[in-house]
Amino acid sequence: MPSLIRSELKALGLRRDPTTFSHSVRVGMFAQAAALELGMAEDEKRMFTAACSFHDIGKLLVPHDLLVKRLPLDDAERARIREHPLLGVRLVRQLGWRDPRMIATVRSHHERWDGKGYPDGLRGELIPPWARMCAVFDSFDAMVQIRSYNRIKTVAEAADELRRQSGIQFDKTCVELFLSIPEITIKKIQRYRS
């Protein structure tokens, strides 16, 4: 991952929550690996990596105590955290990012293939392509890392879950793309900590 993106994430204060910072870096690293698989040109690869790295930037505007809460969230708390994609769009625009693919990725990375995601309830191919890919990277990383809300999965278990949710939560093509990344690369990225 370009050190400039990592530095910008640090400068923005995302390090106040090391879990979110490390997660953002890993999602960007997955994007970079996928961009290689897709044969993206350098400028497109950089923008795609940045878009995926900044997907959770809106969490900077969510109360920190909600991000680190160990107990289950109530409905109001869950709704507050679900604001982070829209808050993220506001932040990336304030930072001067204008690429519509970046903005769409930050806004739509929690949309689902079946239309049950948020913030807009988009479904299928109405979800921007980069956001569909970012959703896979984001979910995989959440499954294989320690989180207060779920049991950590092995790489194989997380890959199986992606396959099970293919065509439901995720675009099948994006799942196939992710699973085409060499396992050694996935495991190396998975071990990154801030």
Instruction: List, in order, residues 6 or more apart from 181 with CB less than 8 Å away.
Output: 30, 33, 34, 37
Residue 107 belongs to domain spanning: 3-190
pLDDT band at 146 (very low <50, low <70, confident <90, very high): confident
pLDDT in tens, 18-35: 778 889 999 999 999 999
Domains contained in the chain, number:
1
pLDDT in tens, 57-78: 999 888 888 887 888 889 999 9
Given the structure tokens 């350098």, which residue do they identify?
A: 42
Query: Taking a C-beta distance cutoff of 8 angstroms, is the pair 53, 106 a contact?
Result: no
Say whether pLDDT at 7 is over 80.
no
Instruction: List, in order, residues 6 or more apart from 37 with CB less than 8 Å away.
Output: 177, 180, 181
| DSSP secondary structure, 9-40, as one string | HHHTTGGGSHHHHHHHHHHHHHHHHHHHHHT-
The enclosing domain of 40 has a CATH number of: 1.10.3210.10
